[in-house]
Amino acid sequence: MHTKRIKTLHIIIILLIIVTIISLTFAGAMGALYVKEVREVSRLQGERERLIVDQALPALSADVEHSTAETPEAGMEDQDAESAAEIAAAGEDVQPDMDETDIAQLMQSKEAEVEQSIKDRMKELVTSEDGSPLKMLRSFFPENLIYNFENEYVFAPVLDGVNKHSLLDENFIKTEDGLMQYAENGTVTSHAGIDVSKYQGDIDWTAVKEDGIEYAFIRLGIRGYESGKIVLDEFYDDNMKGANSAGVKAGVYFFTQAVNVEEAKEEAEFVIQNLADYDVACPVVFDVERIAGGKGRADQISKEERTAVTIAFCEAVKAAGYTPMIYGNVVCFTQLLDMTQLNDYEKWYAFYDDYMYMPYDVSCWQYTEKGQVNGISNNVDLNISFKTW
C-alpha cells in the first residue's frame, strides 16, 4: 500500500511538472507574439512616417476608407520640401501615430485586397478561352499533380525523390500550324516526332521526312489484354523499313499486359528479337497504360508489382544495348508506378493540351493525338523531345 502511494505521488509530481512546462511554454509563446506585434506596429508607424517625408503628402485621416481625396497622379512623388511646407502651412491635418485600431483596419483592407485578387485569378483561370476548373486547381496547388480520374479530382503529391525537369512554361510555343515547340533565347531546341501503328495504314515516309519529322516511335507489338498472347504489329516491318530508308530516326514501343516479372522478361525478349534487322537509334519504350474500363488482365496488379515488371523490362532492354524508356500519362506516373524507383530510365509523357503539366523529368512529350503530317492519311500522335538520341 505504501509503495502504491509513493507511485501515485510520483505520478502527480510528474503531471505537475508537465503542466508547469506547458504553461511556461505557452507564456513564452504569447510573449513572443506580443513582442512581434509591437515590433510590427512600430514598423508600420515608421514606414508611414517615411512615406510622409519622402512623398511630402498630407497624412491620411483615420477614416481613410471613406476619404474622397483623389489619388495622386504619377510623378507626384517628386514634390520637394518647399511644396511640403506650403501644404502644411495651408492648414492640412497631420495624422497622429497610428493606433491598434488603425492598424487592424489597414490589415483588414489588405486581406480584402488579397482575397479579391485570388477570386479574380480564379475567375480568369476558369472563364478564359482555354480555362477550366482543373487549370485553376493546378495553378493554386503546385505541390500536387491534379487530375480527374473516375469522376473524382485526384491530388497526387509531387514526390521529392523523383528527378525534375528545368523546362520553363514560357518557352513553349505553338505555331500557327498547331505544332508545339520549345525555344530558348529565340532558338528552337526541341525536336519534332510522331508515333505510329497499324492504325495509320500505309505511310509515305519520304513525305514524312520532308514535313520536318525527325524521329518516329513505331509500335512493335502488344500483349493481348484478355488472351495474354504476344502479337507483332502487322505494319511494324513496313514502318521500320520505311523510316530507316527515309532517314527518319526510329524507336519502338510495346504495349504491355505483363502481370509478373517473368512475363515482362518474355515481352522484352520478343521485342529484342524483332529489333535485330533494323537501325534503332531512339529508345525502346514500355507502354504501361491500363485498359479503359478495367478490362485488362494487368489492371489489377499493385503499384509495387507493376514497378517491378517495368524495371525487369527496362533492364533487359538495357542489357541488350538499347535505351529503355517508359511511356505513360499522369495516372501512370502517380497511381500505377513508384516513380522514385525509376529515375534511371527515360520517360515519354502523354498529355493532350497546350501546356505540359508534369514536373518530373521527361525526354519526350506527346501533346496531341490529332496531328496531321504529310505522307499519313489519318490522324497521328505528335511529340516533341527535349534531346536527341
179, 168, 171: which is closest to 214 by C-alpha? 179
Q: Is the dihedral of CA 204, 206, 207, 209 positive or negative?
A: positive
What is the sign of the dihedral through the CA atoms of 365, 367, 373 and 377? positive
Check whether residue 364 and residue 220 sit in a common domain. Answer: yes
For residue 57, is pLDDT > 60?
A: no
Domain of 224, CATH number, reads: 3.20.20.80
Is the pLDDT at 11 greater than 80? The verdict is: no
Q: State if pTM tops 0.85.
A: no
* Residues 264, 265, 271, 275, Cα dihedral to 10°: 150
pLDDT at position 246: 98
Are residues 182 and 326 located together in one domain of the fold? yes
249 with 106, same domain: the answer is: no
> For residue range 191-217, what is the model confidence (pLDDT) as tens digits?
999 999 999 999 999 999 999 999 999
pLDDT band at 18 (very low <50, low <70, confident <90, very high): low
Question: Over the stretch 66-103, which tens digit does the pLDDT of each residue have?
Answer: 333 333 334 434 444 344 344 334 444 444 566 778 77
Report pLDDT for 77: 40
Do 101 and 170 belong together in one domain? no
Q: What is the average pLDDT across 152-168?
A: 96
Q: How far apart are CA 194 and CA 253, in angstroms?
A: 12
Lowest mean pLDDT among 21-30, 160-169, 349-358: 21-30
Q: Does 2 score more than 70 pLDDT?
A: no
Same domain assignment for residues 31 and 100: yes
Stretch 228-253: mean pLDDT, rounded? Answer: 98
Do 235 and 364 sit in the same domain of this protein? yes
Q: Which of 297, 316, 295 is nearest to 306 (CA)?
A: 297
- Decide if pLDDT at 232 tops 90: yes
**pLDDT score at 102:** 78
pLDDT band at 29 (very low <50, low <70, confident <90, very high): low
Same domain as 91, residue 175:
no
Residue 48 or 308, more confident:
308
Domain ranges, residue 234: 165-385
pLDDT in tens, 102-137: 778 788 877 877 777 766 766 665 555 555 788 888
- The larger pLDDT score, comparing residue 92 to residue 147, is at 147
What's residue 81's pLDDT?
39
Residues 298 and 192 in one domain: yes
Cell numbers linked to 14: 510528474
